[in-house]
Amino acid sequence: MGQVRYLEIDDPETLEVCSQLESEIQSGQKWRTATSILRDIAATLSRYDWNGILDTTADFVIFAIDWEAEGDQLATVLGASISKEQLSEWKAKGWL
């Protein structure tokens, strides 16, 4: 990973949905729910067939992380998007 660790979303419709979700999470203080939703989305996107949209490799993964709060828990965070076998393989390669 390089210096840039995020994707900026600028689609107005998506931003509106995100704003509504954030308001609901904030008002109910549902932090764990928010994390769970983001991790589910990341896992779904990791399994998505990106052919014709994006060139990916076999170890392409999308994950959701709060770098300030979870930066030292990367393996745990990745575990929501990749299999235990892939996680073990990455650890054996020294990637984690």
Instruction: Summarize pLDDT for 59-87 with one digit per residue, the tens.
Output: 889 998 888 888 888 899 999 999 999 99
Q: For the beta carbon of residue 35, count every other beta carbon within 10 angstroms.
A: 18
Q: Are 73 and 81 in contact (CB under 8 A)?
A: no
Q: Which pTM value belongs to this model?
A: 0.72
Average pLDDT in the chain: 87
